[in-house]
Amino acid sequence: MSPSIAPARRRSRFVICLAALCALLVPASSALAAQHLGQRALHEGDRGHDVRVLQDFLTRAGFPTPIAGVFGPDTLKNVERFQRAHHMAADGIVGSGTVRALRSAAAHRAAAQQGAGHGGAGDAAPSQHLGDRTLKKGMHGHDVRVLQDFLTRAGFPTPIAGRFGPETLANVKAFQRAHGLTPDGVVGPGTVQALRNLGDHSAGDNSSPAPTAPVGHARLLSNGLAVAPADAPQAIKDVIAAGNRIATKPYIYGGGHGTWHDAGYDCSGSVSYALHGGGLIDTQLDSTSFESWGSSGHGRWITIYANGGHAWMIVAGLRFDTSGANPSRWQPADRSADGYVVRHPTGY
């Protein structure tokens, strides 16, 4: 065997093994894709953030359940008990009807406890349930994670980190302004109830729905943020969520190329950041590099336009572009593509 053939065969075997490993990992990641309670029907064996929120609501509704993120026998038993207590089919499947009933029962029970004088946990209390204590910047815990989940569901994408940091504070204030509340960044009963009302609506009550988007198309909110379409792949939802995080950051030439977390981002730095958020790119690219990145032509979900001086992209029908950004990089899609090379992430 010639010296030049041996390395090629070794590389071929490595690629085959890597492809097989990826195939094994895809089902697990798909099972964890849903992050928000009500986006999918939950069954025994499911796992993820939405399962933790389910367990939190069961506990709040009077059926104490370990918040483990895995839909095991204890969770199944308590779901069936809750369903029987609320005159529902006790099948152990958490669909939109069970989600609505859980949110309503938890809210009513919290109101009753507050009326009876049991709701006064202090700032330092290790609260596990959103609404048991007033939340402020600097606090952390499971209730902060639930708050961040509700903010995301309400159209204000917030990393679910469990710590009330500057980004959570900014999104709380934005939510409060949007709903006629005092924008003080303090999450008290009024803010919690407004968030839960949106949660109830998004779980199936169409009387006053939370922000949604048409099938296949993202929606642009008045605050400059984008709402991903419900039918989008998780990677596309993650790209949009990442884009939202920097949508109103200032333009800084070279910004976003030395670090993922920067004070501002230029055109290609912005595109790189959003794609990285969706797991579609692992290093920052400049606009010239985007001319040969991915696959040629328009994509189903993302299309990138690049030349030697500028880069921008269309994601689920919305333009993400530093040019013309006001109030954010998310804008209507209408813009001439003359002079740009058209590329897209392979598979999207």
User: Which tens digit of pLDDT belongs to each residue from 218-259?
Assistant: 999 888 899 988 888 888 998 999 999 999 999 999 999 988
Write the pLDDT tens digit of every residue in 79-125: 999 999 988 889 999 998 898 888 888 777 766 655 544 444 334 44
Which DSSP string corresponds to 64-108? -----SB--HHHHHHHHHHHHHTTS---S-B-HHHHHHHHHHHHH
Q: What is the pLDDT of residue 214?
A: 64
The fraction of the chain above a pLDDT of 70, given in percent, is 79
Which DSSP string corresponds to 220-252? E-TTS-EE--TTS-HHHHHHHHHHHHHTTSPP-
Q: What is the pLDDT of residue 130?
A: 80
Write the pLDDT tens digit of every residue in 270-313: 999 999 988 999 899 999 999 999 999 999 999 999 999 999 99
Q: What is the pLDDT of residue 210?
A: 46
Q: What is the pLDDT of residue 17?
A: 52
What does the block give as tokens for 18?
A: 């890597």
Q: What is the pLDDT of residue 26?
A: 40
Write the pLDDT tens digit of every residue in 307-340: 999 999 999 999 999 999 988 999 998 899 999 9
Rounded CA separation 259/239 (Å): 18
Please state the pTM of the whole predicted model: 0.46
Judged by DSSP in three states, 16 sits in: helix
Residue 151 above 80 pLDDT?
yes
Rounded CA separation 3/328 (Å): 55
Q: What is the pLDDT of residue 204?
A: 38
Q: Residue range 149-160: average pLDDT? A: 79
Burial category of 238 from C-beta neighbours within 10 Å (exposed 0-12, middle 13-18, buried 19 and up): buried
Q: What is the pLDDT of residue 135?
A: 93
- For the chain, domains (ranges, CATH) are 49-202 (1.10.101.10), 219-344 (3.90.1720.10)
Rounded CA separation 150/155 (Å): 9
